[in-house]
Amino acid sequence: MTVLPRPAGPEADHGAFDDAQGLRKVIHVDMDAFYASVEQRDDPSLKGLPVAVGGAAGRGVVAAASYEARVFGVRSAMPGGRARALCPDLVFRPPRFEVYRAVSQQIRAIFLDYTPDVEPLSLDEAYLDVTRDLRGIGSATRIAELIRQRIRHDTGLTASAGVSYNKFLAKLASDQNKPDGLCVIRPGEGAAFVARLPVARFHGVGPRGAERMKALGIVTGADLRRLDLATLRAHFGAQADYLYRAARGIDLRAVRADRPRKSVGAERTFERDLSTGPVLRETLETIIDLAWERIARADVRGRTVTLKLRLSDFQAMSRARSSPAPIADRATFAALARELLDGLLPLPQPIRLMGLILSALDEPGAPETAAPEGQGQLPF
């Protein structure tokens, strides 16, 4: 477990916990290589082997990779053929989403033993606001430790957790000591913690965003903090306010048990523009795999499929089609996606981006109302 040393003096760190202000105690729990770990648990012969969940042949895509596979550079969303080239001994297993969903429900039940304020992000991660101490434990850090112990005991799997005073910092902390780790960022420590992190670690800053920042001399949180809001808005538009706050360890979002999810999907920007029908159809199959894996991980059903394209001149195109019933299987989702693309061909220009989105969602596991805000405070 990592607990950062307490700062020697006052720190300009807005959003830090203070008893009088009533700020929150937040835990972010993230299962370690969830799909692959379930496969290794259920088949002991896979223990210690590089495992990928997904497709190995043709247009197959890696949905998850064990830590043994990640050593070789295998990552989720990677084409199966590329993963096999990086790791010839890689063992592929087909996804078993019904099993992952059942394990996720076990884990969620553990969370609810400690707080009603649980905001699931997917089958394998969630935010917990543990400001209310349902069991009288007295420490958010101890609650995180107990949750991780319960998960290991009840499921045979490991989880990493981050404890802090807002969602942004808790998520950064949960990634700090993976796998099977715990990190605590105490009140007053957030700005210093963020300052030394690469901006590529910030949620919402992808590889292309990190490259744009690097070109501006922004590599770490400290570099980002040196820029004023006007400069950030000039370069990053709508994302500027988020970046300004993130560089200071500020996040005002509440943990919401009833957080409405509007859509789930995936998109990819290509190194070279694509134009011919066969290439576009082949690419669509990859996007279907990526999008459906995220839909299954989020455990949602929806009625509307949208195909999103960005042309070589950056003009956006999109087409959508709705189903009278919630889309519950990949085959239906894929068929609608293919119809949407066929209806646009031939395209007026090559494209540089393709994406698929499922919206008009039903979330069968989501509670209808949020738990009321608690009054009691817990020390870290």
Is it the case that residue 23 has pLDDT exceeding 80?
A: no
Mean pLDDT, the chain, as a whole number? 86
- Domain boundary residue, one of 150, 173, 190: 190
ω into residue 179 within 30 of 0, thus cis? yes
Statement: residue 10 has pLDDT above 90:
no
Whether 144 and 269 map to the same domain: the answer is no
Binding residues: 30, 124
What pLDDT was estimated at residue 3?
52
Q: Looking only at Cα atoms, what is the longest distance across the chain?
A: 64
Q: Which of 106, 100, 101, 118 is nearest to 150 (CA)?
A: 106
CA-closest candidate to residue 110, choices 136, 128, 89, 97: 128
371 assigned to some structural domain: no
| 213 inside domain | yes
The enclosing domain of 72 has a CATH number of 3.40.1170.60
Tell me the β-bridge partners of 26: 129, 164
Task: Please check whether residue 376 lies inside any domain of the structure.
Answer: no
141 and 175 part of one domain: yes
Distance between CA atoms of 167 and 147, rounded to whole angstroms? 18
Asked if residue 172 is part of any domain, the answer here is yes
If asked whether residues 327 and 342 sit together in one domain, one would say yes
Q: For residue 147, what are the domain limits? A: 22-32+98-190
Residues 125, 189, 267, 293: which is the catalytic one? 125
Residue 370 lies in a domain: no
Are 26 and 131 in a shared domain? yes
Answer with the residue of higher pLDDT: 370 or 235: 235
**pLDDT number for residue 2:** 54
pLDDT tens digits, 129-186: 999 878 889 899 999 999 999 999 999 999 999 999 999 999 999 999 999 999 999 9
> Looking at the domain assignment, is residue 379 inside a domain?
no
CA–CA distance, 369 with 322 (Å, rounded to integer): 27
**Residues 115 and 145 reside in one and the same domain:** yes
CA dist., res. 140 & res. 145, Å (int): 9
Can 293 be counted among the known catalytic residues?
A: no
pTM over cut 0.75: no
Same domain, 162 and 28: yes
Q: What's the pLDDT at 224?
A: 96
Q: What are phi and psi of 344, to 5 degrees?
A: -100, -15
Cα distances (angstroms) measured from residue 140 to each of 9, 26, 39, 161: 24, 8, 31, 11
Q: Are strands 26-31 and 159-164 parallel, antiparallel or unpaired?
A: antiparallel
CB 284, CB 354: distance < 8 Å: yes
DSSP string, 262-310: -EEEEEEEEEEEE-SHHHHHHHHHHHHHHHHHHHHHHT-EEEEEEEEEE
CA dist., res. 221 & res. 163, Å (int): 20
CATH number for the domain including 346? 3.30.1490.100
Asked which of 96, 113, 139 is the last residue of a domain, the reply is 96
Q: Is residue 125 within 8 Å of residue 28, measured between CB atoms?
A: yes
Taking only Cα atoms into account, the Rg of the chain, rounded to an integer number of angstroms, comes to: 22
Together in a domain, 151 and 185: yes
Are 273 and 331 in the same domain?
A: yes
The helix (run of H) or strand (run of E) holding residue 331 is helix 330-344
Q: How far is CA 160 from the centre of its chain?
A: 14
If you ran DSSP here, which 8-state letter would residue 7 be given?
P
Q: What CATH number does residue 169 fall under?
A: 3.30.70.270
Same domain, 180 and 235: no
Q: Could you report the per-residue pLDDT of 244-256, keeping only the tens digit for each?
A: 999 999 999 999 8
The number of domains in the chain is 4
Q: Is residue 253 included in any domain, yes or no?
A: no
Q: What is the pLDDT of residues 60-109, one digit of tens each?
A: 789 899 999 999 999 988 888 899 999 999 999 999 988 999 999 999 99
Please tell me whether residues 136 and 228 are part of one structural domain.
no
Confidence of residue 234 (pLDDT cuts 50, 70, 90): very high
**Separation of alpha carbons 124 and 104, rounded Å:** 6
